[in-house]
Structure 1
Amino acid sequence: MESGTFERPSWLEAEFIEEALHSREEYEGVSVVDSKVQLAAGKGDNYTSVIHRVTIQFKRKNNDETTERTSLIIKSLSSIEIMAKFLSDFKVFEKETAIYQVTIPAMFRLLRQHDERRQIHCLTPFCYKTSRPHTLILEDLMTSGFKMADRRARLDLAHCKMTVKNLARFHAMSLALYDEDPTSMDEYSEKVYNDTSREMMMNFITSAINALANVVERWPGFEKYGDKFRRLLPTIWDRMMEIVKPKPNSLSVLNHGDCWVNNLMFHYCPATGTVDDVKFVDFQLSRYSSPALDLQYFVYTSPSEDIRSNYTELLLEEYHKELQDTLKILHCEHHEFTIDQLKEEFEEKSLFGLIAAATVLSAVVADPNDVMDLENVKEDGSNMDLKLVEKPLSGRRYKQALEKLIPHFEKKGLL
């Protein structure tokens, strides 16, 4: 046993760790002397996987004198039934492994070919190889000074600008890869909103919207919005399926797919304390579609209310400038996508943002005690108790956020 109530997984032994380390050139031939395992995500910080941090002492080949240290982040299949089924049915680990080990290296290969400055900036952690199914082993970014922001406080303007700029670089590189090899995006066709996933996803969405309606109509002055939310349900599936489709004669890119504050790791300048970098983690829901989907998801889950209310247009402009600059470096200027097109497409995808606010934002701002417990929910979600779903929706921070967002979405004609 480690960390009091935590039990180390039986498969997480020295041989497994060495196999992973040997897949990175700088650790070739090392031997593990000791390792310690702890849970790396607290309650409310991750919903789809079990995440461990493994701190390792090792020795290099032909050097028995010096012991060095490193650490890894290991993601494995959730023990929660509904999440395990979701991850398995949608081949989530396979997709994420492909992104880290195949797609992203190919994207950066193209950037290295075209960027004369050779200032190659990696946007993700290194992914180690493993033969164990449903397992992902990543570089621990904390060893390089990266850390998560406070999800409940959400992000200020500097963090948001840094995020959309790096998102633009990621999107642009994926477009260059698609130009070179259109089959490179085949793996990332829509997996969430399609006919195969309809039953499970509609059970989830129906529970989420009904629970939100029940909570909202108890707020003074918001009584009418309960039924407005419920009236979304008969058409929401077909509308969402249409929204996530790549748009003909427009830009399609590899979306992160789950771009919210907990999937961002920030670095800060030691001298000034200001944010100077961000890396993306958790590509389990990536899709090939409009860049506006990532932007909608991020804008309605992660910035503070002040930033969302007053700086969304600025963030779109920052994103667009970085997208154009990176496309130019990659010799992909022939892809025309004006700032007006981006803003129009962002508005067209507003329902995607509303669903993010209805289903994800509550988790962003929830206190640990208010986090939804999915332990006893069936794998198809059919027995999801509305009271269970209502718990994170009833928190003070979420109420404050929704009281601003509901009139905002109503003005857009979505409610």
Structure 2
Amino acid sequence: MTPTWLTADFVQEILRTTHQNNSISVKNIKIEPAIPKGNNFMGVLYRVHLDVNDNEVKKSLIVKTQAQGEYMNMVTETCGFFPREIRMYAAMFPAMYKLSQGKLDNYIISPMYFPCSMKDVIIMEDLVSQGFQMKERRLQFDFVHSVSAFKTLAKFHAMSMAVNVHDPTMKDHFEDFYDNDVLRSIFGRFLASSLASLAKKLEKWPGQEYYAAKVHKISENVTDTMAELSKPGPLMVLNHGDIWVNNILFRYNGNEITDVRIVDFQMTKWASPANDLYYLLYSSVQEQVREQHADTLLSEYHATLSDTLTALGCSQEIFSLQQLHQEMKDKIFYGFLHASLTLCVTLAEPCGVMDTESFELKDMDDGHANPIEQSEFSPRFREVFPKVLRYFEENGVL
């Protein structure tokens, strides 16, 4: 249901305030869902088409509101997802871009933000209207798009490191969820129930029964494992936290990628770059690309991170490619976790995506409020995931 407050007068006031121009007039608006079901779980997105100044300008915005359903409302409220994302747009990105202006090319990596006084409401430019496109999630990224995504992520990480050099207090606003006892409990229960659900499904998956007990054992200690991994280490950056195919948009000139934007910053936290790198690698990179070019993608990431830090006058923050590979090895559990929780969602058929709006609070205690329990495993997932399990067994996770 469209919010009753989302009117032409409301949008007009937002535009006037942002552009400091009281002559802006919005007469008509048209509201529609911005994305199909299954493409966003932490909020509801509306695309708002506007006629500005007596139809002189056609404009569209994205309005993001709190997720529907009692379980998702509780999670987003308790975890402070909206305040965290608003801090990104209101404080972190302005700091990043101020440092980058005149030193970096194409340093804008986020949509334009329109400040709003309403609680748990975020208003952004509509990137689609600016020519950006979202790739079809089930197809994932080919090599070219993977390289572009990893290089953009590197730029984001590097700019966050530069901000930290100039203002170390900024990272205090993006604590790791495992640093907070309440949030640690919520995330721990979610991860434990997700892996327990995976173990149950593996028990009934012909040929994969062998892994069920191993995954179940991991589920029993996952909260402590993640708390240990989340402790501050030598390599720390601002993580996006949900860096997958649906949160990265590309703009093209013909077939050439000319610009990239990242969206959805509700899960940002200060942590190891390995967390984001594994998330992107296993949620969004095509299987063949991941198997054949993972090292190349890490090299592209590292080169861009190093170049960006050098351009920003922070070359002292650069870590070596060898250090990055060691970090990935030390934190390989991130890879197993992200592969287990995201691949089934990325590769789900349209009819098999989870419906978070239907989650109730009791589902948290019953272990039903997780992607493994709610998603129907697609044929493609059933083809890919056994190879993933074997990989993590060979590398000592299982």
Question: Please, what TM-score do these two structures have when normalized by structure 2?
Answer: 0.95
* 1:350 corresponds to 2:332: yes
Corresponding residue of 2:99: 110
Q: Which amino acid aligns with 1:44?
A: G
Given the alignment of the two structures, is residue 369 of structure 1 paired with residue 351 of structure 2, yes or no?
Answer: yes
Instruction: Find runs of 4+ consecutive structure 1 residues off by over 6 angstroms.
Output: none
| CA deviation vs aligned residue, 1:220-273 (integer Å, no higher than 9, x gap) | 3211101110010222111111112220xx231111111011111111213xx2
Could you tell me which amino acid in structure 1 is paired with residue 67 of structure 2? Answer: S
- Report if the CA contact (8 A) 1:80-1:376 is conserved: yes
Maintained 8 Å contact 2:44/2:67: yes
Structure 1 residues 379 and 57, CA gap change in structure 2 (3 angstroms): farther
Contact kept in structure 2, 1:251 and 1:335, CA below 8 Å:
no
* Aligned equivalent of 2:294: 312
| 3-state SS in 1 of match to 2:387 | helix
CA separation in 2, counterparts of 1:26 and 1:312? 47
TM-score (norm 1): 0.91
Query: Given that residues 43 and 65 in structure 2 are in contact (C-alpha distance below 8 angstroms), is that contact kept between their aligned partners in structure 1?
Result: yes
CA distance in 2, matches of 1:308, 1:208: 24
Structure 1 distance, partners of 2:117, 2:57, is 25
Tell me, yes or no, if the aligned pair for 2:26 and 2:52 is still in contact at 8 Å.
yes
Q: Equivalent of 2:10, from 7, 16, 20? A: 16
Alignment pair present for 1:327 and 2:313: no
Shift of 1:143: 1.1
Query: What is the alpha-carbon distance in structure 2 between the residues aligned to residue 251 and residue 225 of structure 1?
Result: 32
Matched with 1:277 is: 259
Percent same amino acid at aligned positions? 35
Q: Matched residues in 1 for 2:277 and 2:72: separation?
A: 25
Give, in whole Å, the separation in 1 of the partners of 2:106 and 2:232: 29
Partner residue, 1:233: 219
Partners in 2 of 1:167 and 1:309 — Cα distance? 20
Q: 1:376 to 1:339 in 2, by over 3 A?
A: closer
Contact between 2:34 and 2:45, CA under 8 Å: does it hold in 1?
yes
Distance 1:196 1:390 in 2: 23
Among 156, 163, 173, the alignment partner of 2:159 is 173
CA RMSD in angstroms comes to: 1.9
What SS does structure 2 have at the residue aligned with 1:381?
Answer: helix
Q: Is the 8 A contact 1:19 1:130 kept in 2?
A: no
Change in CA separation of 1:36 and 1:174 when aligned onto 2, cut-off 3 Å: same
- Secondary structure of 1:404's counterpart equals helix
Higher-helix-fraction structure? 2
Kindly indicate whether the alpha-carbon contact (under 8 Å) linking 1:175 and 1:253 is maintained by their aligned counterparts in 2.
yes
> 1:312-349 CA deviation, whole Å, 9 max, x = no partner?
10000000000110111011111240000001101212
Deviation at 1:389, TM superposition (A): 4.1
How far apart, CA to CA, are the structure 2 residues paired with 1:254 and 1:235?
26
1:162-241 equivalences in 2 (<5 Å): 162-191=148-177, 194-241=180-227
In the TM superposition, what is the alpha-carbon distance from 1:9 to its structure 2 partner?
1.8
- Aligned 8 A contact 2:50 2:58 in 1: yes
Residue 251 of structure 2 is matched in structure 1 by 267
